[in-house]
Amino acid sequence: MSVQLLANIVIGLALVGYLAYRQATWRSVDPTRVWRAPLVLGAVGLVVLAQSAAAVTTLDVLFLGVEALVSIGAGLAMGAMTRFRTAAPDTEGRTLQARTGWAGAGLWVVLIVVRIGLDVLGGHLGAHLLTSTGAVLLVLALNRAARALVVDQRIPRPATGMMVR
Amino acid sequence: MTTGPGPVGTDPVRGRSGSVTSRVLDLVGIAVVSYWFVRTGLADAAPAWVWIVGTVALAAWLLRVLTGSDRVLVVATWGMVLAGATVVVPTGALMVAVPLVGVVVLAARRPVWAGPVAAVVALVLVAATAVVAGAPVTVVLGTGGGLLLAAAVGSGRRQARIAEERTRQAEVERQRAELLADRTRAAREVHDVLAHSLGGLVLQLDAVEALLEAGRVDEATRRAGEARVLAASGLAEARRAVHALREDVPAPPTSGPAAPTDLPALVAAHRSFGGTVTTHGDVALTAVDAAHRAAVVAAVREALSNARRHAAGRPVVLSVERDGDAVRVTVANPLGPGAGTPDAGGPDPDGPGTGLADSGGPARTGDGHGVVGMRERFAELGDGSALHAGALDGAFVVTMRVPGVTS
């Protein structure tokens, strides 16, 4: 197990732990900003991936594709699990709050286990692009984007005047 | 294309974007891809599994074009994506058209994620077969780019369809609003006619009753005759209003006694009901055009009718004044006993029903529709014409302002 792989696992675990905590607690959401995090993450991931300048193989594409599918699937499920409530306005005047709950946090753990498994398997088969930081960020961005896609459609809009639960 | 413009593209009932043109395009695509699939397959001596999976992909495409069932369509489209993507590499990227069409179709439908997920699934299948066959990565990346584009095209189609749907809904809303406006207009016409003639009739009949009790039979007979004339005129007016509502054109003169349609006639009618009215200025309204004159006459009729109901026996003052380019018409009467007391002297000249609230008694059956109707009629003229009604210094005052004809 290379040092970079180990570092990636540690960074990934820390990130996933933080995100799992955030998902399990009520957080203010801004309907106009649900797409910001996935876009930023995706852009940074693409730039980092391009900087790594490693030769892309078909095996890389295969493993990245599988990871993307798993990540998107988890994101869609998280989006579907998200619950909304209205609360007193926060410092920025947002009244809408959302959380995914502990089931969503559990999905993160599943996601990270699958990812580590694929990392190890891909590393053995020669798919080295998979373990790069850019790929990690890109897969994370896909997960957030899939969640945003579902959340964006389920957000209770003031125009409908209804709470969606 | 030999077909005319497809009639289905804008068909709201079918809900899928399968115009005749796009169906023909699909069939042509199936024929061309099938021909080249067989030709290259024979030339390269393709393995049996490629023949089978490729045939499944093409059959799924055909099924998608021909089916009318929504569920079959979804299954067939996923079949196109899965089977088609599997044989992209073995057929030298010939079959890439099949998963591309599948992704476009899925991305144009609900749920939103189906298109992107189908594109990634297809990419994984292409990459897997490329790994096994040792194909160059450029084939995989090129296919990936194409799939991304297909998903974008599909979601563009979905957005266009949503926009079309919204436009249709907005049109329905507009028609509903128009219908409501028409109903309001009808309600106002009915009120104008019936409140005037029936209100007058009630007063006349009250008087007949009182005269009969006093034994003044001759006067009572004269009053009853006037009441009959009023009833006949109200009936004629109601017929005219119904005709106007049906035809949306001014009604022809009807038989029977004509209802008062100018201010002098209204004043005369008011006096015949036993009311007192003093006039000032050009009551013939020569400085006002026909449309505005009709609105003014309707409002004055309503105001006089209200004065009879709520302030019976009190003197009414009707004045017409030139005010620069505009003409101002005012109807004022002292508030009757009890009438308007909640608002008397109050600073709310525009409150609906002000001074017109029910104050009991058999003839006092108003609920403010008249004032609302008067105000609407003036607002509909849309040229700065305005009407104010309310209690002022112990009197109920209706003020109208309409543009005068500049000579």
Residues B100-159 have pLDDT tens digits of: 999 999 999 888 889 999 999 999 999 999 989 888 888 888 999 999 899 999 989 988
Residue B363 · residue B202 · CB < 8 Å = yes
Look at residue B8 in the predicted model and tell me its pLDDT.
Answer: 38
Assess whether pLDDT exceeds 70 at residue B367.
Answer: no
Higher pLDDT, B342 or A110: A110
Percent with pLDDT over 90 in chain B: 25
Q: Report which listed range, B147-151, B246-250, B372-376, is most confident.
A: B147-151
Number of Cβ within a 10 Å radius of residue B323? 9
Distance between A150 CA and the closest CA of chain B, angstroms: 8
Token pair of B45, please? 């001596």
Q: What is the pLDDT of residues B171-187, one digit of tens each?
A: 999 999 999 988 888 88
Q: Which of A56, A59, A68 sits opposite B120 (nearest CB)?
A: A68
Q: Which of B112, B117, B131 sits opposite A58 (nearest CB)?
A: B131
H or E element in which residue A53 lies: none
Report yes or no for ipTM above 0.90.
no
Assess whether pLDDT exceeds 60 at residue B32.
Answer: yes
CB pairs under 8 A between A and B: 48
Look at residue A111 in the predicted model and tell me its pLDDT.
Answer: 85
Residues of B in CB contact (< 8 Å) with A are: 112-113, 116-117, 120-121, 123-124, 127-128, 130-131, 135-137, 140-141, 144
Number of Cβ within a 10 Å radius of residue A40? 13
Contact A61 B135 (CB under 8 A): no
> Per residue, what are the HEC states of A73-126?
HHHHHHHHHCEEEECCCCCCCCCEEEECHHHHHHHHHHHHHHHHHHHHHHHHHC
pLDDT tens-digit profile, chain A (165 residues): 578 778 877 887 787 788 778 878 888 887 778 888 888 988 888 888 877 766 778 888 888 899 899 999 998 998 888 888 887 777 777 778 888 888 888 888 888 888 888 888 888 888 777 777 888 888 889 888 888 888 888 887 654 444 444
Residue A24 · residue A104 · CB < 8 Å = yes
Contacts of A72 in chain B (CB under 8 A): 113, 116-117, 120
Give the global pTM.
0.60
Distance between B325 CA and the closest CA of chain A, angstroms: 45
Residue among A60, A73, A138, A62 nearest B124 (CA): A62
Assess whether pLDDT exceeds 60 at residue B358.
Answer: no
CA-to-CA distance for B249 and B258, rounded, in angstroms?
A: 18
Q: Within 13 Å, how many C-alpha atoms sit on residue B168's CB side?
A: 10
> Per residue, what are the HEC states of chain B?
CCCCCCCCCCCCCCCCCCCHHHHHHHHHHHHHHHHHHHHHHHHHCCCHHHHHHHHHHHHHHHHHHHCCCHHHHHHHHHHHHHHHHHCCCCCCCHHHHHHHHHHHHHHCCCCCCHHHHHHHHHHHHHHHHHHHHCCCHHHHHHHHHHHHHHHHHHHHHHHHHHHHHHHHHHHHHHHHHHHHHHHHHHHHHHHHHHHHHHHHHHHHHHHHHHHHHCCCHHHHHHHHHHHHHHHHHHHHHHHHHHHHHHHCCCCCCCCCCCCCCCHHHHHHHHHHCCCCEEEECCCCCCCCCHHHHHHHHHHHHHHHHHHHHHCCCCCEEEEEEEECCEEEEEEEEECCCCCCCCCCCCCCCCCCCCCCCCCCCCCCCCCCHHHHHHHHHHHHHCCCCEEEEEEECCEEEEEEEEECCCC
Contact B140 A61 (CB under 8 A): yes
Residue A123 · residue A63 · CB < 8 Å = no
Q: With cut-offs at 50, 70 and 90, classify the pLDDT of residue B313.
A: confident
Which residue in the block uniquely carries the two structure tokens 């992704």? B103
CA-to-CA distance for A12 and B185, rounded, in angstroms?
A: 69
Q: What are phi and psi of A95, to 5 degrees?
A: -105, -15
- Distances in Å between the alpha carbon of B280 and those of B117, B275, B321? 82, 17, 8
Q: Which of B117, B137, B144 sits opposite A72 (nearest CB)?
A: B117
Contacts of A149 in chain B (CB under 8 A): 112-113
Residue among A7, A25, A34, A128 nearest A85 (CA): A25
Q: With cut-offs at 50, 70 and 90, classify the pLDDT of residue B325.
A: confident
Look at residue B206 in the predicted model and tell me its pLDDT.
Answer: 87
CA-to-CA distance for B168 and B163, rounded, in angstroms?
A: 9
